[in-house]
Structure 1
Amino acid sequence: MEIHVAAGTARGRTELAAYDAALADANLHNYNLVTVSSVVPAGASVRVVDEAPPLGPPGNRLTVVQARADATPADAHETERAVAGLGWATGPGPGLFYEATGADADVVRRTVEEGLADGRALREWEFTDEETLVAETDTSADAYTAAVVVAAYGESEPVA
């Protein structure tokens, strides 16, 4: 199985519209996303892409791990950035994802790295590779903003 990791950012008139547009920026807006916690199946490869390739027909169910940061127009007075980060540690067997959100890219990246370190310490798996992808956008006083990083597991499947 190939897991595609893509990031997106956007603005919208509502929080959900901004999130949908950020998913569109990553080409993952036409699926019913089913979020799972954090384990990379053994044998899966994780690959960063500018945008996800077509993963099946619109409306299908797609398994994902996602980091999602939202900011309201009012937040723009308190914070300048919406930041989402997703990291993964993999090896010859299973691996881990860890997600974090916030307003500072360095803090989000550090939180992801610390979470992965703690997750690795809980398991007796071999980890040989680690990577992090961060998406960030300026907040706006006149629009909702969203940043997402999504790991899409393989192809989508019919909902019913």
Structure 2
Amino acid sequence: MKIYVVTAVGKGLTRLSAFDRALQRMGVHNYNLILLSSIVPPQCEVIPVHKYNAPEGEYGHRLYVVKADIRSSERGQFIAAGLGWYQRKDGRGVFVEHTVLGYDKKTVVVEISRKIEDSVHDLCVFRHIHFNPKKVKKAIAVTGVEDKPACALAVAVYQAEGWRP
């Protein structure tokens, strides 16, 4: 199975509409998101992409995802949402999701990166997975809050499933 990792930011008149704009920018706005925890099944390939290529005819389908999102309307804040992942040779592994807010962009990026790395480390140790810090992968969205509410969003898309009639 292929798992696609995508990040986006959005701005809107409300925090909710900023979230929807980020969903739209990443290509998953017409799905019902079903949240998963942190496990990557065996034989999976995790692929970072700029936008998820949603097939035609899946409007309203369930979309299984791991998600990190943060929203703010406080001018001057920087917000970040990120996913980290680690995989064994057979494809199985773990995802972690984190969010951070602060008033300095560089500090926010450093903090979310550290949290992702620390969490991936722990999840691997808890599962007796050999850990090499150089093999941790990350996808992070960062934005500043200015005149409109903002959202930073990171999603790992597993698969879509339709509804039974």
So what's the TM-score if we normalise by structure 2?
A: 0.88
Q: Say whether 1:138 aligns with 2:108.
A: no
The residue correspondences of 1:2-81 to structure 2 (distance < 5 A) are 2-55=2-55, 57-72=58-73, 75-77=74-76, 79=77, 81=78
In structure 1, the gaps of 5 or more residues are: none
Could you list the structure 1 runs, at least 4 aligned residues long, displaced by more than 2 angstroms after superposition: 124-130
In the TM superposition, what is the alpha-carbon distance from 1:53 to its structure 2 partner? 1.2
In the TM superposition, what is the alpha-carbon distance from 1:55 to its structure 2 partner? 4.4
Contact 1:64–1:150 (Cα < 8 Å) also in 2? yes
Match of 1:97?
95
Contact 2:45–2:91 (Cα < 8 Å) also in 1? no
In the TM superposition, what is the alpha-carbon distance from 1:130 to its structure 2 partner? 2.3
Q: Tell me the C-alpha RMSD between the 2 structures.
A: 1.5
**Deviations 1:2-44, CA, capped at 9 Å, x for gaps:** 0000111010111111001001111111110000110001111
Report the Cα distance in structure 1 between the residues aligned to 2:48 and 2:91, rounded to whole angstroms: 19
1:76 is paired with a residue whose SS is coil
Q: Say whether 1:124 aligns with 2:123.
A: no
The residue correspondences of 1:142-153 to structure 2 (distance < 5 A) are 142-153=147-158
Report the Cα distance in structure 1 between the residues aligned to 2:18 and 2:121, rounded to whole angstroms: 32
Shift in alpha-carbon separation, 1:124–1:90, aligned structure 2, 3 A: same
Return the letter of the residue paired with 2:149.
Y
So what's the TM-score if we normalise by structure 1?
A: 0.90
Contact 1:67–1:86 (Cα < 8 Å) also in 2? yes
Shift in alpha-carbon separation, 1:10–1:135, aligned structure 2, 3 A: same
In the TM superposition, what is the alpha-carbon distance from 1:93 to its structure 2 partner? 4.7
In structure 2, the gaps of 5 or more residues are: 102-107
In the TM superposition, what is the alpha-carbon distance from 1:58 to its structure 2 partner? 1.0
Return the letter of the residue paired with 1:100.
H
Aligned length: 154
